[in-house]
Structures are given as structure tokens and as C-alpha cells.
Chains A and B, each alone.
Chain A
Amino acid sequence: MSALAVEIRAFVEMLLQLPDEALADNSGHWKGENGWQDYSDNLNDIAFLVSQQLRQLTVAVESRRASIGPKVTEANRILAQHQGAYRDFIGLVAGVRDDELDLTPFEKKWSLRSNIVHLTTAECWSQGPRVLHAIAQYRSGDAPKPMPIDGDSFSGPPNDYGPLTDMLARFDVGHNSLIQQLSTITDEELNATSVYWEDEPVDVRFRLYRFAWHIRSHTMQADKIRIALGHRLTDMDRHARLLYHALGEAEGVLIGAGESQSAGLETVAASIKARVQEMKEFTALLHS
């Protein structure tokens, strides 16, 4: 997990422990910077400030890449959409309790745990390796063939037990590794043929688009489950979703950027880390 993601997760976890009323706290604890001094009276403003820091990073990276590179490839753009969908899903399940993971409020439908296992399986165990296989064949000049079912070509399917943090951590490791590997796909390689379970082969471009489309369909399912379990959408939830959405955008433009953009990323991560510390102090004060 990137430094940025670590800090956003910590910030969101702190937010979700607090009631909505805490957003209005204007006890003088909060202070923004870089123009936000007069726009940061309370925690609500600080949450928006953090979101904006991520969005500013997004714009800054986009601008730098446009002027000095690395060039944003078509694959980078498609994967950026996928990264957005991935973070929207993470934002949606943030705050779900472990004892809710296995509940099935709808007949014949999955639990949240089953959705997470399925997403991890589909992306990291099933579809992802097929894309890499198709690219490897294309690069070596071999004719497209299905990936052999030897069980050793990729790691085993994900575990379907453990607390939510463990489930998401496993997904995160596989997802990040896959994105890293897919980020080098060139525009030409998007046309490579991938043979899998479908009646007819598809190209790699189709498979890359499929990632985001698939995860968004399960995000809808997960949203319905949350509601059916009695989750009321709080303002803290709304902020959590905004923050993860902004994180997804920032991470999206960083795909394929290499190390050249790390300085700006570290600065923002350090700033958010300081906000997390402020949140801890504020929470301690509330509970004292």
C-alpha cells in the first residue's frame, strides 16, 4: 500500500469512529494552510481540505506528465478508471463491522465477504493472470493460446476468512501488484488477443476495461447489502467516500508515472499524516 493510501486509510478510520456532530467542532483545534487558513474552522473543513490535497496532487501530476512525461498511455488511462472503481469500493465498505461480513440479507445473494473474495479471485487469480499471459505471448511473438490450467502459474485463490482489514489487505497486495505489471502495456499491445473462457477471443483492451466495470457492479451489490443491514449513510461515510474517490483519482494519474512523481506524493502523504495525528489528539480530547 502506498504511503498516501496508508494515511488516507488512517484518516478515514479516525473519522468513522466519530459521530457526525464532531464535524462541526470549531474549538480552535483545526488550522488549514496554503489559503485554507480562513476556510478551516472545523473538522468538516479539514476533511474537505484533505480531499482537495489529493485532487491538487492529481492535477499537478497530470500537468507534469503532460509537460515532461512519462507519457500517459491508453492502458494507463484505462487502469486509472479501474483504480477509481477500486477505491470507490474500498470507500463503500469502510466502516463495515466484522460481524456484518457474513450476513446475507437477500435470498440467493452473496454476503459482503463473498463479494470481496469474488472480486479478489476474479481480478488477481483469474482475469489478471490471463492478461499477463496474453501480453507475454504477444511480446514473444507466439500465437494466442489459452493459459494452461496447471495451478502453478499463479498463486492460489484468496482466503475467504478473517477480519475485513485482512480481506482488504490481501486484495490490495494482489491489486497493486497487478496494476504495476499492467502499467507497462503499450497502446499497440492493447490489441493483443486474449483467449479465455469466452466463445470468441477478446483483446487486452477489453479485459482492462472489464476490471472497472466488474468492480462497479459489485460495488452496487455491496451498497445494497450495507443499506439492508441497516447502515444509515452518515456525513462521516460521505467524507470517507469522497476521500477514497479522491485517492483513487490521484493514484490513477500516478499509474505509469514511475519514480519521477514521488516527491509531490510524499509531501502530500506527510501533510495527511500530520492531520491523522491531529485527529488522534482531537479524539482523545473528546473521550477525556
Chain B
Amino acid sequence: MQSNVDWLRPGDLRLALLRSRQLSKPVLVDFHEPTCGGCQQLERGTYENEEIVAAIHEHTVPLRVETTASDSATIQIVNTYISIASPSVQLISPTATLYHAFRETPRLTVLCAKQIAQGERRVYVEASCCPSPLRFLGQLWIGCGKAALQQQRWRCAMDYFERVSMGPHGEHTHAAEVEYWLSRATSRRDAENICEAVS
């Protein structure tokens, strides 16, 4: 399927993680399930939006997983990042740990181990939903902010969270979510400032 996003493929995971480390950008993993209405809406409404595509390219290393593929790389990623009701869009770190699971994206569940062992993995759509483009962008900034928090880049994290709280995404995002992460970043930055002042 043609997409406006330059997706890496499951076999490129190591490359994606390497780029993530080198560029200090999280890997954006999109689990695309062809039978999922929400996934199709994401493709049409969000991944065709120029602002979002530009943001994805500038702030993440995008990687798409077609969940119906049966190659070992796909199976490994699906088994690592999809369990029960797992959001279909996730930001992961250079060490392949989860930074952020996008709210309101479709929820997927990987099907049974017997099939996985036979290389016949299937994915079950638990909830087929789709965030609006503005909500998606808000989630992207929150996720990038959480990534910056983990990297102890407090000011950078605050910038991302403030994009949401002060930008047009604010009214499309759960205020409590942004407030929580912004307060975490602010308190860590303040604590560091105090330490620097004391030393």
C-alpha cells in the first residue's frame, strides 16, 4: 500500500532503533491491520495529512507493521508489542521499550500461541476506533515529550507538552494527561536548576 509516510519495515527494526539512538527520536510503530476500520481511517485521515506526515518525519523514526504478514520479523514485533487490547500506534525507545501508547487508536490483541508457533499469527481487533488528526498530533507531542522525559531532557519535554496545552490540540486532548506530564517535566527541571544553583 502506498503511503505518504516513509515507513520502515519490520525487517528494519534494528536500523530503526539505531536511527532512534543516533537522532534522539523515538520509533513510531504503526500496527496496520487490514480488516480494521480504525486502521483504514488512520491511513486516510491522518497519514495523508501533510502536517502530521511532516511531524512524523521530523520527530520520529516511523516503522509500519502489516499484521497479516507472516515473516519472522513481523511475528517478533507483534508478539513483543501487542498483547491484549494494545493500542495500534506506539512510540518506542532505542532499547525497544515502550514510551507511549496512543490513546484512541484501534486496540489489537494477538491471537493464540498455537498459531504463533506455526507462524500463522493473526491479530484480533479489540476496538476499532480512530483519533481525529488533531488528537493524533496531540498524542504524538505527548509521546515525544515522554520520550524526552526518559532521556532527562526536561526543557525539551516541556516544549512538547506545551505544544499540546497551548496549541490547537489542547481542546482535543485530555487536559489532565498533559498537565500531569508537564508537571513531571517542570518539577524535574526545577529540581535540576536548584542542584546547579547549589553546586
Contacts and interface: CB of A to CB of B under 8 A. Distances in A.
Contact of A197 (B112, B114, B149, B180): B112
Mostly, the B contact residues are mixed
Given A108-B96, A149-B126, A149-B127, A102 B80 contact: no
Contact of A199 (B115, B126, B150): B115
Interface in B24-44: none
Contact of B97 (A107, A157, A198): A107
A197 B111 contact: yes
A26 B26 CA distance: 54
Interface stretch (A120-128, A180-188, A270-278): A120-128
B114 A199 contact: yes
Given A149-B125, A149-B128, A161-B176, A111 B97 contact: yes
B68 to A, nearest CB: 16
- Residue of B95, B125, B129 with most chain A CB atoms under a 10 A cut-off: B95
A160 B101 contact: yes
Interface in A150-186: 151, 157, 159-162
Interface string B47-87: 00000000000000000000000000000000010011100
A126 B97 contact: no
A157 B85 contact: yes
- Residue of A106, A149, A161 with most chain B CB atoms under a 10 A cut-off: A161
Contacts of B85: 121-122, 125-126, 157
Interface string A75-114: 0000000000000000000000001001110111111001
A126 B84 contact: yes
Contacts of A198: 111-112
A181 to B, nearest CB: 19
Contacts of B176: 159, 161-162
A199 B177 contact: no
A104 B98 CA distance: 8
Contacts of B84: 118, 121-122, 126-127
Interface residues of B, number: 33
Contacts of A117: 101
A106 B97 CA distance: 8
Contacts of A122: 83-85
Contacts, number: 70
Contact of B95 (A99, A108, A161): A108
A102 B100 CA distance: 10
Nearest to B146: A102
B180 A161 contact: yes
B180 to A, nearest CB: 5
B155 interface: no
Nearest to A150: B127
Nearest to A122: B84
Contacts of B109: 126, 197
Interface string B107-133: 101011011000000001111110000
A157 B101 CA distance: 12
A139 to B, nearest CB: 25
A199 B103 CA distance: 28
Contact of B181 (A111, A121, A161, A199): A161
B46 interface: no
B153 interface: no
Interface string A121-139: 1100111000000000000
Nearest to A151: B127
A265 B121 CA distance: 49
A149 B180 CA distance: 31
Interface string B157-199: 0000000000000000010110011001000100000000000
A229 B114 CA distance: 35
13 contacts: A99-B188, A102-B149, A102-B150, A104-B93, A107-B95, A122-B84, A149-B126, A157-B127, A159-B174, A159-B177, A161-B177, A162-B176, A197-B109
Interface of B: 80, 83-85, 93, 95-98, 101, 103, 107, 109, 111-112, 114-115, 124-129, 146, 149-150, 174, 176-177, 180-181, 184, 188
In the A-B complex, the 5 residue pairs with the smallest Cβ-Cβ separation, listed nearest first, are A104-B97, A197-B124, A108-B96, A161-B180, A107-B95
